[in-house]
Amino acid sequence: MANVFFKRGLQANLTREKTPFQDGTFYLTTDTGRLYADVVSGSTSERVLLNRTIEIVDSLSDLTAKSASWTTAQAKLDHKNDIYYVSSISTGAESTHAGNILAIWDGTNWVQINPDTDTTITDATYRAIVSNNTATISQTISNSNPDLGDTTATFSITGNNGITISQTESGTNNTGVTISGSTYEVATSLTGSNEIANITLSSSNTALSASTATFIAGENITFSTTNTGSVDGIVVSAVDTVITSATLSSPADGMVALTINESGQSPTTATLSNLKVMLNDGNYVPLVSNTSGTEGAIYSKNEIDTFMRNLNGMSVKGTIGASGTGTV
């Protein structure tokens, strides 16, 4: 295992002639802030740069002052590939130059290696064009660097469902756009003999059809219109129903009718037809209408048979003969 050595000195002294290679030796340059290591393997020798430092200065003036201090050609060469970062905005004559500049020394000049930040926005323009109910709005950003050119972005707004997009002129850029919605109106009306109530919703947008809801009153419901301030309305009223009489009749054989009379309404009749009466023996006989108003009796077969048997039990007294007479 090789021994390890640490040495420090100036960048200019790290030449092959002034500092021969020595395996395992580390060199720290005090003027450039670099760290090297010598690697010797057989006939191959290499001095490897282990780090790359970035020096920070406040302004471009400080950066040019730094390179101006390297007065000899050797010093300029020693600092080749040095990287500096300009952190803040310059002042005075350099007020047009911003910070955030990363530069590398190529042995003769500083070369900026990050994107150019020496750019200021000179103009921002908006433009709105309306066509077919759609507004196309664009924004154009102009900057002080002609190499970058202008940047334009656009977006669109489209009106539908009663939304209208219109152009508002403002100078040559047409920067105004108006977005307006439809107005709606609710109207009420009665048709027929005021038994049909209509509520209609209409729009100022002719592309939208009016919509009407219709309500039909029943026998005991009435409609009327009303107005409270600027609001039209419909009043729904229910008529109180009182049954004044009920009549049961038999207008024909096998039929029963129930007639109900209500206050303020026409009589209502419900009819049951083809009615029959079930007797005690399980037989059915039609229900007979008694239009004369006298009461009548309905007898079953069993009742008639019983009646006839009772008649057969009666005695007939008298003289039996060709000319006989007698009294029953």
What is the rounded CA–CA span in Å between residue 297 and residue 295? 7
| pLDDT of amino acid 198 | 87
Q: Which residue ranges in the chain fall short of pLDDT 70? A: 1-2, 16-17, 89-98, 116-120, 144-148, 169-175, 229-231, 240, 253-254, 264, 274-275, 277, 279-282, 285-301, 307-328
Q: In whole angstroms, how far apart are CA 156 and each of 135, 160, 268?
A: 5, 13, 68
Segments making up each domain of the chain, as ranges: 5-49, 54-112, 121-181, 184-235, 243-299
What is the rounded CA–CA span in Å between residue 136 and residue 127? 8
Question: In this structure, which long-range contacts are made by residues 154-159, counting pairs with CB atoms below 8 Å and at least 24 apart in sequence?
Answer: 158/133, 158/134, 159/133, 159/134
In tens, the pLDDT along 251-295 reads 776 677 778 777 767 788 877 776 676 766 667 766 665 555 445
| pLDDT of amino acid 127 | 84
| pLDDT of amino acid 328 | 44
| pLDDT of amino acid 67 | 92
Identify whether the C-beta of residue 256 lies closer than 8 Å to the C-beta of residue 248.
yes
| pLDDT of amino acid 231 | 66
Residue 191 φ then ψ, to 5°: -130, 170
| pLDDT of amino acid 78 | 85
Looking at the DSSP assignment, which residues form a beta bridge with residue 111? 104
| pLDDT of amino acid 68 | 93
In our burial notation (b when 16+ CB lie closer than 10 A, e otherwise), range 176-212 reads ebeeeeeeeeeebeeeeeeeebebeebbeeeeeeeee
What is the rounded CA–CA span in Å between residue 134 and residue 22? 77
First to last CA, the chain: 170
What is the rounded CA–CA span in Å between residue 162 and residue 184? 10
